Amino acid sequence: MKSRQQALLKRQQTGFTLIELIIVIVIIGILAAVAIPKYISLSADAGAAAAQGVAGNLASASATNYALISGGLANSYVAGCASTGGTVGVGAMLQGGLPGGYISNGTAPACAVYSNTGANASWTSAN
């Protein structure tokens, strides 16, 4: 009778073997080794796309600013490309100013915007 109870207890104790656990850890390691470089590349691409978006916004705002001034519909005029961020320089053309972490410089019409993450993009000023 006692051996039968011991046999039932042994059947109830189930779990993963050491080999199974090691195989799972190896698979997770392989997946991480493949995914991490792709994630890093994706982050750099996202930073470059964000800088291009800011440059596109500045180019559009510059063209709008130029059109308003040329048509006599606005009194203020933003010249050049320089901005250290916020609503200084060309940042004044954007609602809310130049996003934090970006600066713009160059000599019109060839301007560039730089991010503190190292990404940059160029834009053409209408001035």
Quick: pLDDT tens for 1-43.
566 666 666 666 678 899 999 999 999 999 999 888 888 878 7
Is residue 90 within 8 A of residue 80, CB to CB? The reply is yes
Number of helical (H) and strand (E) elements in the chain, helices listed first: 2, 3
Quick: pLDDT tens for 95-127.
788 888 888 888 777 888 888 888 888 877 766
Q: Count other C-beta atoms under 10 Å from residue 126's C-beta.
A: 17
Residue 23 pLDDT: 96
Phi and psi angles of residue 102, each rounded to the nearest 5 degrees, phi first: -120, 145
65: phi > 0 → left, psi -120 to 50 → alpha, else beta; which?
alpha
Whole-structure pTM value: 0.63
